[in-house]
Chain A
Amino acid sequence: MSAVLETKRKRRGWHVPWNIALGLGLAGIVLAAALLSAWIAPFDPTRMAVGPRLAGPSAKFLFGTDEFGRDLFSRVLTGARLSLGIGFCAVVSGLAVGGLVGLVAAFAGRLAEAVLLRVIDVLYSFPDTLIALALVAFLGPGIVNATIAIAISLVPFYARVAYGLAAAERAKPYIEAARLAGINSGRLVRVHVMPNIGQSLIVMATLGFSSAILSAAGLSFLGLGVQPPSPEWGAILASGRNYITKAPWILIFPGLAICLTVLSFNLIGDSLRDLADPRRKRTS
C-alpha cells in the first residue's frame, strides 16, 4: 500500500537533479581555475607592488589588491590549486588508511573488530577540524604537515564507512562460499570484497573532500597551515582581517571561493550518496 503511494509521489516530484548539476558546474569552474591558474592569472600571485596598495576591484585588478599591492584575483585563482591539492592528497591518503582500518576491523577476527571499532568510535566523536588542529600543533605548521594532519583527521570517518560497507558484504553467501573454497582473508578482501564496495567508498570520499578543504582553510587562517606568502584562501583571509574596514574585498573574494568550492563538493557528495543508497533517498 505505502509502496504504491510512494511511487506515485515520486513520479510527481521534480526530476531535474538541480543539485548535482549545480555542484558539477561549480566544481568544474574551481577545477578549471586550479588547473589553468598558471596561464590565466594576470599577475604573479606572490609578486608585490604590481598595483597600488589596497586598491578596490577594477578592470585591471578584478578582485582589487592587498596590503602589499599584490593582485587578489591572481592569488585567489592560485589558491584554488592549493586548496584542491591539499584536499585531494588528504582525501586519498585518509581514504587509503581509513579504508584499510575498516576492512581489517571487518575481516581480521573478533578481537581486532572490537578494539578497532571502539577506537574509531572514540575518535569519531571528536570534530575532524579539532583532530587536525591538535595534530598540527604537535607536527608544526606548514603545507605538508597540515595535509598529513587533515588526512589523519579523516581516517575515523572513512574507517567507519568502510567497516559498515564491508560488514554488510561479509554477511552475504558468496563470501561464505569463497571462505569454504579455502581463500584466506587477504585475498578474499582484495578479490571479492573490494570490487563490490569500491564504488560506494569513492562516493563517500567526495563527502570528506569538502571537510578537508574547510579544515585546510581554518588551519591556515589560524596561522597553523599553509604559511604566507602562499596564496591559500584561509591565509589570505587571516592577513585581510587587519584591513577589514579599508579593503573589504580581501575578505569577500577568498571567502566566496571557499564557500563555492565546499558547496560544490557537498552538493555532489549528497546527491551521489542519495543515488548510491536508495533507502536514504526515500527518507531524505
Chain B
Amino acid sequence: MIRLIAKRLAAAFATVLAVILLSGVLVHVVPGDPVTAMMAQSVTATPEAMDEMRSRLGLDLPVWMQVGRYALNALSGDLGTTIRGNEPVARLLLERLPNTFMLAVAGLGIALLLGIPLGFVAAVNRGTAADAAVMIVAVLGVSIPGFWLGLVLIQVFSLHLRWLPVAGTDFRNLILPALTLGLTYCALVARMTRSALVEILAEDYIRTARARGLREHQVLIVHALRPALISIVTVVGLVFAYLMGGQVIVENVFSWNGIGRLAVQAMLQRDYPMIQGFIVIFATSVVVVSMSLDILYGFLDPRMRQR
C-alpha cells in the first residue's frame, strides 16, 4: 500500500513538473515577440518600457535558462506577476480556486447522481427500449455544448420563470452552472456505468448468485453494483478532468468567479504569466484529484495494492 502511494506520488510529481516545463516553453511558441504581442494594446508601450518588460520577464536570457528559472520559481510557489496590475499570479488563482472546486464538485455530484442510476437501468434492461432510451440520452448529452445548455437554462429558469439569479457566487447561483455541468457529464458516467455493469453481469459469480436463489434485486445491487462502483471510481478522475475542462467555458457563461473565468480574461488580454499560471494550477488540481482517487481505489480493491 505504501509502495502504491509512493508510486502515485512520484508519477503525479513528474506530471506536474512536465506541465510546468511545457507551459514555460509555450511562451516561446508565440509567433513574433511576446512583449510586442502583450503590450500591443497598451498606451505605455515605449521602447524603454518594452525593454524593461523583457528583462523583468527574463526574456533576454537564453530559452533553456528562462524555462529553468520559470520551473524553479513555480516549484517554490512563485508563478510570476500579471502584466496588467502587476499582481502575483499564484495568489489571484488560489483565491479563486475554492470557487472552481465548489462548482466542479457540485457538477460531478449531479453527474454521478444522474449517471449511475441511468447506466444501471440501461445495463439491467440491456437490449430493451429502456436501454435504447438511456443511450439516446447519453449520446445527446455528449453532443450538447455545455455553454449552450447553460444559456438555455439561464433563458428558461432565470429570465422566463425568474426562479434563479443570472450570475453571482452564492448558493443559489451555484444551482444552474452545476446543473449545466452535471447534465453534460452525466452522459459520460452513464455510459461507463453501463459498460462496467454489463461486463460484471456476464461473470460466473452472478450466475452462481442467481443459482443460489437470491432475489434479483439482491443480485443486482449487492453482487453487481458494488464491484461496478469500485471500477467507476477509477474513471471518476477522468470525468473530473473533463468536467473541469468544460467548466472553463461554463464559468464564463454564468460569470462564476473561478479560475476558468480568470483564465479566459487573461487569454483575451494576452496576459501570458496568468495563462501559464492557470495551466499549472489546473493541471496540478487534476493530477492531485486523480492521484487521490487512485489511492482510494487501492483501499477499495485489494488486488490493486499488489501492482
Interface residues of A (CB under 8 A from B): 2, 9, 12-13, 19, 119, 122, 125-130, 133-140, 210, 214, 217-218, 221-224, 234, 237, 241, 244-245, 248, 251-252, 255, 258-259, 262-263, 266-267, 270, 283-284
Report the separation of the CA atoms of residues A267 and B154 in the bound assembly, to the nearest whole angstrom: 28
The listed residue with most B CB atoms (<10 A of its CB), out of A2, A133, A217, A270, is: A133
Q: Which residues of B, 21-52, contact A by the 8 Å Cβ criterion?
A: 23, 26-27, 29-31, 37
> Please, which residue of chain B has its CB at the minimum distance from the CB of A252?
B152
A139 CB contact (under 8 Å) in B29, B127, B159: B29
- Tell whether, in the assembled complex, residue B139 and residue A267 are in contact, meaning their CB atoms are under 8 Å apart: yes
Of the residues A2, A127, A223, contact of B241 by C-beta under 8 Å: A127
A138 contacts B144, C-beta separation under 8 Å: no
Let me know if B143 and A263 touch, CB within 8 A. yes
Interface residues of B in 151-189 (CB under 8 A from A): 151-152, 154-155, 159
A213 to B, closest residue via Cβ: B145
B142 at the interface (CB under 8 A from A): yes
- Is the Cβ of B159 less than 8 Å from the Cβ of A224? no
- A266 touching B143 by the CB < 8 A rule? yes
Which residues of B have CB within 8 Å of A284?
194-195, 198
Tell whether, in the assembled complex, residue B15 and residue A129 are in contact, meaning their CB atoms are under 8 Å apart. no
Are B37 and A140 within 8 A (Cβ)? Answer: yes
Question: How far apart are B282's CB and chain A's nearest CB, in angstroms?
Answer: 7
CB distance from B244 to the nearest CB of A (A): 7
Question: B248–A122 contact, CB under 8 A?
Answer: no
B267 touches A136 (CB 8 A): yes
Q: B238 near A: Cβ within 8 Å?
A: yes
Which residue of the partner chain, among B154, B155, B246, B266, contacts A129 with CB atoms under 8 Å? B246
Within the complex, the shortest CB–CB distance from B157 to chain A, in Å, comes to 12
Q: Which residues of B contact A214 (CB under 8 A)?
A: 145
B268 on the A face (CB < 8 A): yes
Are the CB atoms of B198 and A259 closer together than 8 Å? Answer: no
Interchain CB contact under 8 A, B143 and A259 = yes
CB contacts (< 8 Å) of A122 on chain B: these are: 15, 18-19
B143 interface neighbour in A130, A138, A139, A210, Cβ under 8 Å: A210
The answer, yes or no, to whether B147 is at the interface (CB within 8 Å) is yes
- Closest B residue by C-beta to A251: B151
Q: Report B's interface with A, CB cutoff 8 A.
A: 15, 18-19, 23, 26-27, 29-31, 37, 127, 139-140, 142-145, 147-148, 151-152, 154-155, 159, 194-195, 198-199, 202, 238, 241-242, 244-246, 248-249, 252-253, 263-264, 266-268, 270, 272, 275, 279, 282-283, 286-287, 290
Contacts of A263 in B (CB 8 A): 139-140, 143
Contact A127 B246 (CB under 8 A): yes
Enumerate chain A residues within 8 angstroms of B19, measured Cβ to Cβ: 122
Mind listing 15 A-B residue pairs with CB under 8 Å? Answer: A12-B127, A122-B18, A125-B15, A129-B246, A129-B249, A130-B282, A138-B272, A222-B264, A245-B159, A251-B148, A255-B152, A258-B145, A259-B148, A262-B142, A262-B145
In chain B, what residue has the closest Cβ to A10?
B127
Given A224-B267, A248-B155, A259-B144, A130 contacting B195 (CB threshold 8 A): no
Q: Is the CB of B252 within 8 A of A125?
A: no
A27 to B147, CA, bound (A): 22
Verify A255–B267 contact, CB threshold 8 A. no
Q: Which 4 A-B pairs have the closest CB atoms?
A: A127-B245, A263-B143, A255-B148, A137-B267
Beyond A137-B267, A139-B31, whether A266 also contacts B241 by CB under 8 A is no
B306 CB to nearest chain A CB (Å)? 21
17 other contacts beyond A234-B147, A237-B151, A258-B148, with CB at 8 A cut-off? A125-B238, A125-B290, A129-B249, A130-B248, A133-B267, A140-B37, A210-B143, A214-B145, A222-B249, A224-B267, A244-B155, A244-B159, A252-B152, A259-B143, A262-B142, A263-B140, A267-B139
B249 touches A221 (CB 8 A): yes
The answer on a CB contact under 8 Å between A244 and B26 is: no
Q: Return A28 CB to nearest CB of chain B, in Å.
A: 17
What is the CA–CA distance of A20 and B155 in the complex, to the nearest angstrom?
A: 33
Give CA–CA (A19, B136) in the complex, Å. Answer: 9
Q: Which residues of A contact B18 (CB under 8 A)?
A: 119, 122
Q: Which residues of B contact A267 (CB under 8 A)?
A: 139
Q: Smallest CB–CB gap between A216 and chain B, Å? A: 10
Residues of B within 8 A of A241 (CB): 151, 253
Given known pairs A133-B248, A133-B267, A140-B31, the reply for A217 and B145 (CB within 8 Å) is: yes
